[in-house]
Amino acid sequence: MDTDKLEQIERGKRIKNIRENELLMNKTQLAERIGVSAQFLGLVEEGRGNLVYKSIRKLRDLSGHSADYILFGLDDDIINETRAYLKNYSENELINALTVIKDISLLIKDKKC
């Protein structure tokens, strides 16, 4: 089985887990809330379909999980902690910090060559 299909199956399992264990909803209830049919949601949960952006956004807002977690299984805690930490800085401070990080990475790369 190819990587894309395996990711689709895992994504379906995450969505089903969110629905059953966190939101405590049946397929019909969640389907109505995210704008799809219960039948299509069943296909998604079985790994045989994919949600569109609008439905993923609604599921994200409803569940509190990041789209990165829903789509790829990335750790929400790290994303939420980083987001909370970065709120302490202005946009200009963040841009300056990213510039410094970029310069350091280029310096490290040059030293390796």
Q: Please tell me the least confidently modeled range out of 15-19, 89-93, 109-113.
A: 109-113
Predicted TM-score (pTM) of the model is: 0.71
Give me the domain span that covers residue 90: 79-112
Q: Are residues 19 and 69 in the same domain?
A: yes
Q: Are residues 58 and 94 in the same domain?
A: no
Q: Are residues 62 and 98 in the same domain?
A: no
Q: Are residues 58 and 83 in the same domain?
A: no
Q: Are residues 91 and 106 in the same domain?
A: yes
Using a 10 angstrom Cβ sphere, with 0-12 exposed, 13-18 middle and 19 or more buried, the burial of residue 43 is middle
Q: Are residues 48 and 63 in the same domain?
A: yes
Q: Which of 48, 47, 18 is nearest to 30 (CA)?
A: 18
Q: Are residues 100 and 86 in the same domain?
A: yes
Q: Are residues 65 and 101 in the same domain?
A: no
Q: Are residues 20 and 48 in the same domain?
A: yes
pLDDT digits (tens, 9 = 90+) for 68-85: 999 999 887 887 788 888
